[in-house]
Amino acid sequence: MNKQVKILLQTTIPFSEDDWHIGRFSLLTEHLRSIKDADGNGLYDVTTRDREVDVLGVDPVMAALDESDYDQLWLFALDLGEGLTPDDCAGITRFRNRGGGIFSARDHNDMGSSLCTLGGIGAAHYFHSKQQDPDESRNCRDDQDTKTIDWPNYHSGSNGDYQKINAANHELLRRTDRSPIEYFPAHPHEGGVGAPADNASAKVVATGTSKVTSRPFNLIVAFERSTDARGNDCGRAIAESSFHHFVDYNWDLDKGCPTFLEEPPGYEIKQTPEKLEDVKRYVENAARWLSPGTQAPSPA
């Protein structure tokens, strides 16, 4: 049996029942745990946790992530800027510098803006109050309905519906028959991501299209393994425009959502659940692609 790849799924907020706590990513967790090799052995050992801090306000797991035996961190940034301390970010950065793989996802406006100080991949996330999109023409409202949420807020559709994506020819975005992945869960106000101009290892590999303005926007930035200026062999990484591509509510409306969610849902996923296989395949591809060193075995 091959050694299981250890994955940590983590939010940047403490547990609150009426919020997007890590328990609301149960379908993602179950899917990762269900992936097996040709002999029927599970490929991934998955741990889930919300942010927990010590007396200094530091998350001891994040701050010492580089000293752990985790291979990957899937970080769902749900804070408004206070989610990661400098010590947390330093530990996560050192984790990638020693080859760990990182999956990072945020959402609209300033949600997840504590990602900004993550080494390398933080620069791929654009926010409202800091680290704005270098294309100033994009710093304007896209979604027009939810007035309490400002830019970046690209409207790819209703929660519970699909968006059709434009995928690059990249191993992250291929089905088992090698055809491109086409469908992702939609969200009324996705955040902004982009490939940092000074990082040759970063590339936009998928875009969406606003259903309000018909404007294309970036969905996924992929970072290849690279060697930084200090000689560190940095692991692969992904920057995602929205955690809603992976949360339970956007895979199954019956799982429910926090009470503060205002927008009415759509029902395309309920009507055509088979299209959800695309994002599940992407999850499988991402878990394999992010595995440090030699890649994890292919799923059966």
For residue range 144-199, list pLDDT tens digits in order. Answer: 999 999 999 999 999 999 999 999 999 999 999 999 999 999 999 999 999 999 99
The answer to whether 244 touches 176, Cβ cutoff 8 Å, is no
In a domain, 298, yes or no: no
Is pTM, for the whole model, over 0.85?
yes
* 19: amino acid identity, one letter: D
Closest CA to 245 of 183, 169, 177: 183
Tell me, yes or no, whether 281 lies in a domain: yes
Q: Is residue 300 part of a domain?
A: no
- pLDDT tens readout for residues 48-86: 999 999 999 999 999 999 999 999 999 999 999 999 999
The structure tokens listed for 92 are 């996560």
Q: What is the DSSP letter of 300?
A: -
Domain for residue 178, yes or no? Answer: yes
pLDDT of residue 294: 47
Is residue 202 situated within a structural domain?
yes
In the numeric block, the tokens 């889930």 are attached to: 48
- Alpha-carbon Rg for the chain, nearest whole angstrom, is 18
The identity of residue 16, as a single letter, is: S
- pLDDT band at residue 296 using 50, 70 and 90 as cut-offs: very low
| E strands present in the chain | 5-11, 44-49, 72-76, 101-105, 125-126, 162-164, 166-167, 183-185, 192-193, 202-209, 216-223, 226-227, 233-234, 237-240
The span from the CA of 217 to the CA of 154, in Å, is 7
- In 3D space, the residue among 80, 67, 89 whose CA is nearest the CA of residue 108 turns out to be 80
**Helix/strand number for the chain, H first, E second:** 6, 14
Q: For residue 244, is it within any domain?
A: yes
The sign of the torsion formed by the CA atoms of 255, 258, 103, 294 equals negative
Q: Residue 23 has what DSSP assignment?
A: G
- The boundaries of the domain holding residue 69 are 5-289
What is the number of structural domains in the chain?
1
Q: What's the pLDDT at 3?
A: 85
The tokens describing 90, both together, are 């330093």
Q: Is residue 181 part of a domain?
A: yes
**Rounded to an integer, what distance in angstroms lies between the CA atom of residue 71 and that of residue 46?**
10
Q: pLDDT tens for residues 286-295?
A: 999 999 764 4
CATH number of the domain within which 129 lies? 3.40.50
In a domain, 295, yes or no: no
Looking at the predicted structure, is the pLDDT value of residue 254 above 50? yes
